[in-house]
Amino acid sequence: MNRKLRMAMIGGGKDAFIGAVHRIALNMDGQVELVAGALSVKPEVAIESGNMLFLDEERIYTDYKTLLEKEAAMPADKRIDFVSIVTPNFVHFEPAMMALEKGFNVVIEKPITFTLDEAKQLKAKVEETGLSLLLCHTYTGYPMVKQAKQFLKSGALGKIRKVYVEYPQGWLSTLLEAAGNAQASWRTDPKRSGKAGAMGDIGTHAFNLAEYVTGLEVTHLCADINIVVEGRMLDDDGAAFLKFNNGATGVLMATQIAAGEENNVKIRVYGEKGGVEWKQEDANTLLVKWLDKPTEIYRTGAGYNSSFAAHNTRVPAGHPEGYLEAFGNLYRNFILTVRAKMNGEQPKDECLDYPSVNEGVRGMAFVNNVIDSGESEVKWKEFVV
């Protein structure tokens, strides 16, 4: 198969934020062609947005159901290969299920669904169909995050003992949702965002990052969940103690009211012999700390990195790669996997290393568990999936 993959986008019209990010990420490597879209629930926005993206008029749809039906009915040499769903949380599940049923691979923004049960259904459907699904936990696409995971996996630092993961933001320090901010509006609305605010929006990222980097699973947690800004309907701040399945413990912090903070996701993991530290503000650096020798600065693009880091790097060392490249890596690995499967080949391990339905189910379980724990007077809560 020597052609670009064909795709459609659901959501992500001209006023949306994350849709545009997806498009940069998927365009970057020149492996995909955006050929269809149901870009907005507002027909005029859907059409205008489709035109801005140079879509053929007949493939600019005004609702996702029509899109999926019409595309499914197209001949194989024209039909899309996958669909990207970049709508608010409450409109993830249905289009994803329908797409899978129509035989399309799926990319979906996180959190995967509105409820844990939906996530499980989606997982079952993916397993049933054998199709691929990418869940966009972007931070795991950074080369130095992959390096951290591989380094820990190598055992060089011994058994993992302690995990600190944090995601401080400040943008919800005021009641933005009452000031007409569209992003704030749906993200703080239980009907569109779900059970959790900050915990769903960024807590899930922190949780996913911790499980990804360590290769461990959380078994218990104890959470302190707060609504700090008066008048807000969902949590905007929280923290959780974590217990992992190897006996390690951890602390997770996620807040949207740390006024003055941007988006400095950070993770530190300590084993018996040393630790690793990565933070988004210095995304091309991985610090490797040792009990008895100098800390080492691992850098994106250097020759000593693992094949997983190298596979997710585009330019030589010293040319900083950022958030969009990390996002692009999710797409690239998903696309390489889809392409390999279409060609009847086994995808490389490095390609298969992208977040999918398992991460989706655990993320939704995190939302449930962390909110439940926040409301509980008992300290430790078992992590139930």
Q: Among residue numbers 7 through 46, which ones bind a copy of itself (CB under 8 A)?
A: 17, 20-21, 23-24, 27-30, 34
SS3 186: helix
Residues 366 and 384: their CA atoms lie apart, in Å, by 8
Which of 196, 247, 204, 241 has its CA nearest to residue 221? 241
Min dist. Cβ of residue 231 to a copy of itself (A):
14
Q: Toward a copy of itself, which CB reaches closer, 249 or 346? A: 249
Question: Does residue number 260 form part of the binding site for a copy of itself (CB under 8 A)?
Answer: yes
Residues 379 and 288: their CA atoms lie apart, in Å, by 33
Question: According to CB under 8 A, which one of 102, 266, 268, 339 is a site residue for a copy of itself?
Answer: 268
Q: Toward a copy of itself, which CB reaches closer, 133 or 225? A: 225
Question: Does residue number 154 form part of the binding site for a copy of itself (CB under 8 A)?
Answer: no
Considering only residues 167-196, where is the footprint of a copy of itself by CB under 8 A?
168-170, 173-174
Q: How many CB atoms lie within 10 A of CB 303?
A: 7
- Paired tokens of 95: 């289009």
Question: Does residue number 255 form part of the binding site for a copy of itself (CB under 8 A)?
Answer: yes
The sheet carrying 32-38 orders its strands as 32-38, 5-10, 82-85, 105-108, 133-135
Question: According to CB under 8 A, which one of 124, 178, 233, 317 is a site residue for a copy of itself?
Answer: 317
Question: According to CB under 8 A, which one of 95, 203, 271, 360 is a site residue for a copy of itself?
Answer: 271
Q: How far is CA 171 from CA 98, 168, 189, 334, in A?
A: 35, 10, 16, 31
Residue 296 half-sphere exposure toward CB, CA atoms < 13 A: 15
Q: Toward a copy of itself, which CB reaches closer, 114 or 383? A: 383
Contact 352, 337 (CB under 8 A): yes
Question: Does residue number 227 form part of the binding site for a copy of itself (CB under 8 A)?
Answer: no
Compose the 53-92 pattern: x for residues touching a copy of itself by CB under 8 A, - for all others. xx--------------------------------------
Considering only residues 91-120, where is the footprint of a copy of itself by CB under 8 A?
none
